[in-house]
Structure 1
Amino acid sequence: MKKALVIIDFINDIVDLNGKIPSCAQQVIENNTIENANRSILWAQSQHIPCIYIKVGFHNNYLDLPLHSPMFGKAQSINALNLNDWGTQFHQNLLIRKDDIVITKPRVNPFHNTQLDSVLSANKITDIYFCGVSTTWAIQSAARDAHDRDYRVHIIADACTAATEEEHNISLTTLSRIATIHQSTDVK
C-alpha cells in the first residue's frame, strides 16, 4: 500500500472572504478547514507521503474556459479563477512547500485533462487521501473518478467543506459507499 494526499482548491477565490467566488469561505473559517488540512499535510509529510496540490484556474485569455458551464461560464466576466491573479494562489495559511507538486485543472474533476493519474501511477500509489473544497463538487468528482480507476479512496472529512454544512454532510454520506471517511486527527 502506497499513499498520496491530494489537496484540492484551497485557493483565494474560493476560500477567502475577499475571493471572487467565495462559495466555501464562511464554512472554511467556521470549521477550521485549513487548519485541519494542515494537520493532514503534516501527517503526510511525517510519513513521507507525497502531497499533491490541485487548483482550478484558467489562462489569462480564458480560451480554456467552458463558456456554456453554469459553474464556470461567468468566470471571465468577473475575472475569477484567472491563473495570473491572486485568486488562484493557494490561501496564505495553507502549508505548501516549494518542492510540492501543483497541478492545475480546467474543470471540477482533478483527473480531467491533467497529469494527476500519471503522477499517481508513476509513484505506484494505491491509496488516495483527499481533502479540500468543495465536498459537494471537487471532492465528490475526484473520489468517484479515483474509485473507478481502482484506487482505494479516503476522505479526510474535517479537512473538507462545502457551501453549507448540510451539503458537506450529504456528500460524506454518499461518498462513504466508495471511500473510507477519516478525521484529520486519526489518519493512518
Structure 2
Amino acid sequence: MAKQALILIDIQNDYFPQGKWPLDGVEAAADNAAQVLKAFRQAGDAVIHVRHEFADDDAPFFTPGSEGAQLHANVLNQGNEPVVLKHFVNAFRQTNLRELLERRSITDVVVVGSMSHMCIDAVARAAADLGYKVTVIHDACATCDQDFNGQVIPAAQVHGAYMAALAFGYASVVSTEDYLKAQAAVA
C-alpha cells in the first residue's frame, strides 16, 4: 500500500505582502496549503516542512535567522513534523529530506508551497527522478512575475507554464478541491 507525505516548500514570511519578496497570490496559496496540511494531520500521514535560508546576510530574502526566513503562521510545524533547512533550490540537495522519506517508507509525495518556477519545480522533478509518485497541488503554490530578455512574464503565466511542464512528465497536478475530494473518497 502506498504511503504518502506532504512536503510544504518554503511557505515563509518573506513571501507574504509585508516580506522582502512578496509573491502573487501567496495568501490564497497558503490558505489552500493549510487545508491540505489539516487533511494530512487528520489522516495521520507524514508531514515535512522545508525552510530555505540563504548562506549569507546579503541575500535578497530569507536571510539567516531573520523573521522573514521563518515559517508562516498558517503552516507552522507541530509535534513530530520535521523542518528541513535547505540552502539550495532543490530541497533534496545536501539535506536529510530523502532520509526522512525513506525512514517512513514513503512512496508518494504531495507538494505545496513556493515558488512554482523554482523550488516547487526542483523538488517535484527530483522526487520523480528518485522514484516517488508526485502530486503537486497547483493552487497551493505561488510565484511572481519574471523578467526574460527584457519582457515581463506575468506570475499567472509563469505558474501555468511550470505546472503544465510538471503535469506533462513529472507529476499529477491537481487543485486543492480535487485533491481533498479524492482523499475523502478513499478514506
TM-score range, shorter chain: 0.7 to 0.9
CA–CA distance in structure 2, aligned partners of residues 57 and 148 of structure 1: 25
After TM superposition, list the pairs within 5 Å mapping 1:32-111 onto structure 2: 32-58=28-54, 62=56, 76-77=57-58, 80-111=61-92
Q: Deviations over 1:36-95 (max 9, x none)?
A: 001100111111111100011045xx2xxxxxxxxxxxxx33673223110111112225
TM-score (ref. length: structure 2): 0.84
3-state SS of 2:105 partner: coil
Once superposed, which parts of structure 1, at least 4 consecutive aligned residues long, lie more than 3 Å away?
none
Percentage identity across paired residues of the two chains: 28
2:143 paired with 1:162: yes
CA–CA distance in structure 1, aligned partners of residues 118 and 84 of structure 2: 17
> In the alignment, residue 161 of structure 2 is paired with which amino acid?
I
| Aligned alpha-carbon RMSD (Å) | 1.5
3-state SS of 1:52 partner: strand
Higher relative CO (CA 8 A, sep ≥ 6), structure 1 or 2? 1
Tell me whether 159-168 or 178-187 shows the greater mean CA deviation: 178-187
> In the alignment, residue 21 of structure 2 is paired with which amino acid?
I
3-state SS of 2:61 partner: coil
Unaligned runs of 5+ in 2: 145-154
Give, in angstroms, the shift of residue 5 of structure 1: 0.2
Partner of 1:18: 18
Partner of 2:166: 175
Does the 8 Å CA contact 1:20/1:78 hold for their aligned counterparts? Answer: no
Does the 8 Å CA contact 1:39/1:185 hold for their aligned counterparts? Answer: no
CA–CA distance in structure 2, aligned partners of residues 87 and 118 of structure 1: 27
Does the 8 Å CA contact 2:77/2:83 hold for their aligned counterparts? Answer: no
TM-score (ref. length: structure 1): 0.84
Q: What is the number of residues matched between the two proteins?
A: 168
CA–CA distance in structure 1, aligned partners of residues 117 and 98 of structure 2: 21
Partner of 1:114: 95
Give, in angstroms, the shift of residue 17 of structure 1: 1.6
Unaligned runs of 5+ in 1: 63-75
Change (3 A) 1:185 1:95: farther
CA–CA distance in structure 2, aligned partners of residues 99 and 106 of structure 1: 22
> In the alignment, residue 11 of structure 2 is paired with which amino acid?
F
Change (3 A) 1:52 1:78: closer
Change (3 A) 1:79 1:141: closer
CA–CA distance in structure 1, aligned partners of residues 49 and 73 of structure 2: 14
Does the 8 Å CA contact 1:41/1:95 hold for their aligned counterparts? Answer: no
